[in-house]
Amino acid sequence: MKLHEYQSKFRFADYGIPIPHGKVATTSNEAFAIANDVGCPVVIKAQVLVGGRGKAGGVKLARSPEEAEQHAASILGMNIKGLTVKKVLVDPASEIENEIYLGVTTDRAARRSVIIASAAGGVEIEEVAAKTPEKIIRVLVDPYLGLRDYQARDIANDIGLPREHWKQFIQIAQALYRCYVESDASLAEINPLVVTRAGDLLALDGKMVLDDNALFRHADLAEMRDSDEEAPAETHARQAGLSYVKLDGEIGCMVNGAGLAMATMDMTKLFGGSPANFLDIGGGAKADKVAAALRIILADPNVKAVLFNIFGGITRCDEVAHGIIAALEEVQTNVPMVARLVGTNEQEGRDILASAHMITAVTLADAARKAVEAARTAPARIVKETL
Ligand code: GDP
Ligand code: MN
């Protein structure tokens, strides 16, 4: 789950990181009032969950409340990389001397958190990473010791930060690391962290990505989720308790168990097809969950066939079969379906599906081959499902 800039920065501020004290507006009138309140000049910033807002025209400087109102009016409703702007952050503007990049993420290979920093921060950071990677400093953090003073000092030195800013930089880097760890984040980023004309460090932009699997222990963060900004399929999957990842292929897969789902995707590939999604309905899935999963799969217009691969351990095959039939009564479709059910009550399950004219299979290889074949010869879809 991604946090908006304002949510990330407010969280950073809780950890003592200096941020501009702005407020969020949903109308241009509100932006006028906030600009009046915090004092001009202000920056009006689109709050959408993508980067590169500045280059897309979503960050504008205003010298008066009237100008703030005009900019807010033009930014609200703007489409940035497919997302509609519904909120703007109105921040007091800063005079920038220098833009630094500072972030924390996970280095999977090293199995540690890594601090990433660069003197060449700002909107061109991707370009810096691609063309001059030597300008980017990386420091691994020992999880038991945390980010030590000397490490933060080394970073400040390596990015050529003038010594008078080191004390503040060290505090910010350590605070950002703590915020990252305590939020169960996979990314906490300040870009740019600026040195102002007045000689202070200030986090002008913020971004956080949280680990969805840890949200259960962060009720305050979980409720910051902005469902408006999520693909509808992901919202529905989350609400139904399904693990779903959309992919680009044509074979919708419904599987119970993450490992089995991976194997099913591999098999689909092996027989010349391509999976439209990863979908794990989990153990003990009942009919309503199966129906929700089927609706999500069929809402993807690329899907030409659906492959069910169910191992009946805790989940009973007849229960899943009932779920599929119930779902098919609601979701009218001519998309061909192939089912492979094995385990508890498999014969009952297969009988139920065969009576509904579904293609059944006993082995996974057989099921994958049939699904690929069905997708290849499938007629045009007559009903388009929407979520
Ligand atoms: P992003 O493009 O989505 O990363 O949005 P940012 O919040 O990082 O803003 C993009 C750029 O706008 C920054 O790198 C700054 O150069 C500029 N910017 C943002 N806030 C201010 C400000 O208060 N004053 C000035 N002068 N520039 C700003
Ligand atoms: Mn930025």
Give the separation between CA 80 and CA 68, rounded to whole angstroms. Answer: 19
- Going from the Cα of 223 to the center of ligand 1, the distance in angstroms, rounded, reads 27
- Residues around the ion ligand 2 (C-beta < 5 A): 191, 205
Mean pLDDT, range 142-149, rounded to an integer: 97
Residue (of 199, 202, 218) closest to 210 by Cα position = 218
Q: Say if CB 154 and CB 169 are below 8 A apart.
A: no
Res 287 pLDDT > 80: no
The pocket around ligand 1, CB under 6 angstroms, is made up of: 43, 45, 51-54, 59, 93-94, 96, 99, 122-123, 191-192, 204-205
Amino acid at 194: V
Active site residue 101: yes
Residue (of 309, 312, 357) closest to 334 by Cα position = 357
- Going from the Cα of 225 to the center of ligand 1, the distance in angstroms, rounded, reads 24
Mean pLDDT, range 140-168, rounded to an integer: 97
Q: Say if CB 32 and CB 65 are below 8 A apart.
A: yes
Report cis status (omega within 30 of 0) of the bond before 41: yes
Mean pLDDT, range 159-178, rounded to an integer: 98
pLDDT tens digits along 308-335: 999 988 778 998 888 888 888 877 789 9
Q: Say if CB 241 and CB 42 are below 8 A apart.
A: no
Q: What is the pLDDT of residue 324?
A: 86
Give the separation between CA 181 and CA 166, rounded to whole angstroms. Answer: 22
Active site residue 124: no
Q: Say if CB 159 and CB 125 are below 8 A apart.
A: no
3-class DSSP assignment, residue 230: coil
The pLDDT confidence band at residue 71, using thresholds 50, 70 and 90, is very high
Among protein residues, the one whose CA lies closest to atom 3 of ligand 1: 53
- Rounded to the nearest angstrom, the gap between the alpha carbon of residue 163 and the centroid of all alpha carbons in its chain is 37
Q: What is the pLDDT of residue 91?
A: 98
Q: What is the pLDDT of residue 365?
A: 97
Listed in sequence order, the residues at least 6 apart from 258 whose beta carbon sits closer than 8 Å to its beta carbon are 243, 280
Listed in sequence order, the residues at least 6 apart from 248 whose beta carbon sits closer than 8 Å to its beta carbon are 274, 276, 302
Res 13 pLDDT > 90: yes
Mode of pairing for the β-strands spanning 243-246 and 201-203:
unpaired
Give the separation between CA 337 and CA 317, rounded to whole angstroms. Answer: 16
pLDDT tens digits along 186-222: 999 999 999 999 999 999 999 999 999 999 999 999 9
Give the separation between CA 24 and CA 17, rounded to whole angstroms. Answer: 19
What's the farthest any 2 CA atoms get from each other in the chain? Answer: 78
3-class DSSP assignment, residue 18: coil
The pLDDT confidence band at residue 384, using thresholds 50, 70 and 90, is low
- Going from the Cα of 226 to the center of ligand 1, the distance in angstroms, rounded, reads 23
From the candidates 189, 319, 346, 385, which is the catalytic residue?
A: 189
Res 162 pLDDT > 80: yes
Residue (of 49, 6, 385, 25) closest to 231 by Cα position = 49
Give the separation between CA 315 and CA 334, rounded to whole angstroms. Answer: 27
Which residues are registered as beta bridge partners of 107? 112
Q: What is the pLDDT of residue 233?
A: 87
From the candidates 6, 15, 101, 177, which is the catalytic residue?
A: 101
Taking the CA atoms of the chain, what radius of gyration do you get in angstroms? 26
Average pLDDT, the chain: 93
Residue (of 88, 95, 112) closest to 34 by Cα position = 88
Q: What is the pTM of this model?
A: 0.78
Residue (of 296, 297, 345) closest to 322 by Cα position = 345
Alpha helix locations (H) across 185-339? 219-222, 232-239, 258-270, 287-298, 317-330
pLDDT tens digits along 86-133: 999 999 999 999 999 999 999 999 999 999 999 999 999 999 999 999
Mean pLDDT, range 292-305, rounded to an integer: 92
